[in-house]
Amino acid sequence: MIINGVEIRDSFAEAFPMVGTRLIITADTPDWALTAGRVTTGFATSVIGCGCEAGIERTLAPEETPDGRPGVSILIFAMDFGSLKKVVPLRLGQCILTCPTTACYAGVEEGKRVPMAKTIRYFGDGYQISKKIDAKRFWRVPVMEGEFVCDEDTGSVEGVGGGNFLILARSRGQALKAAEVAVAAMTKVPGNILPFPGGVVRSGSKVGSKYKGLFASTNHHYCPTLYGTVDSALTPETGSVMEIVIDGVSFDSVAACTKAGIAAVCELGAAAGVIAIDAGNYGGNLGPFHFKLREIMGADATGAK
């Protein structure tokens, strides 16, 4: 398959189940809401070293938030529900409670309940008060600046982590430009996050290592400086490879995000130095979700595992 001079390789991205939730953070100004979102989702690129994967899903206008203030929605994913229950209150307490003017609300209504103010309320030292509106309970925690308003808990979803594709280009600048264009398109697709810095990964990994105890190591098959010395997946003219990793609330959301990103890269085309689109997989041994590149670009994804 060739799109605008770019080869779409006959491969698939291999992804795995994750458990996730959405938090809605609001503040007096868009800048403070964004600050809280960025801090809360910091150091959350990969569960391998960070314990969770998180990112800002999108910014929210005042008419989209529970309290009529500007906000952001963030997604946080973990490998299991127990881990998610631990990481959400930690990040909430350290990064949202502490940020000036913020409030935090549930972004998912269904699924198992993840504690929010149910845990954080104890910071109020007995001065916290609750109010139940319909079936939802909110907590008001006094702080020096005023008060922190927060939902008692939020729901959760069975999500998908590790969707990805690789951009092969003639130079580093061309690979990065293509990745930036892809990220701009992909962040418009709701229900997904791109957890790595700026949405882009330069250090794509493979499972395992020659060193004992290391779970992941550099994906040498796609390292241009190793071409000619290893079993390479590259062509001689490939000077740089960038990866984009996607976590989403469903198979279909990740597939739609993948398609948007690849389409944006292919719009740049071979004239912009893009050679091919590939994907990271481990022979089907890592996860049950397979995003077949040619199927995604040729027709709508079906959601089948």
Residue 68 burial by CB count (10 A; 0-12/13-18/19+): exposed, middle or buried?
exposed
Whether residue 304 is predicted with pLDDT greater than 80 in this model: the reply is no
Res 282 pLDDT > 90: no
> Which tens digit of pLDDT belongs to each residue from 138-192?
999 999 999 999 999 999 999 999 999 999 999 999 999 999 999 999 999 999 9
Does residue 301 register a pLDDT over 60?
no
Q: What is the pLDDT of residues 37-88, one digit of tens each?
A: 999 999 999 998 999 999 999 999 999 999 999 999 999 999 999 999 999 9
Predicted pLDDT of residue 98 = 98
Average pLDDT, the chain: 95
Spatial separation of the C-alpha atoms in residues 108 and 225, rounded to whole Å: 45
pTM of the model: 0.93
The β-bridge partners of 227 are 230
Domains recognised in the chain with CATH numbers = 2-15+160-298 (3.30.70.520), 18-157 (3.30.70.520)
For residues 298 and 24, the model is more confident at 24
Residue 303 has pLDDT above 50, yes or no: no
What percentage of the chain has pLDDT greater than the value 90?
Answer: 91
Q: Could you report the per-residue pLDDT of 207-245, keeping only the tens digit for each? A: 889 999 898 899 999 999 999 999 999 999 999 999 999
Model confidence band, residue 299 (pLDDT cutoffs 50, 70, 90): low
Predicted local distance difference test score (pLDDT) of residue 207: 86
Task: Give a three-class secondary structure readout of 215-239.
Answer: CEEECHHHCHHHECCECCCCCCCCC
Cα-based angle 117, 121, 125 (whole degrees, multiple of 5): 175
* pLDDT mean over 268-287: 92
Say which residue the tokens 């003017």 belong to. 101
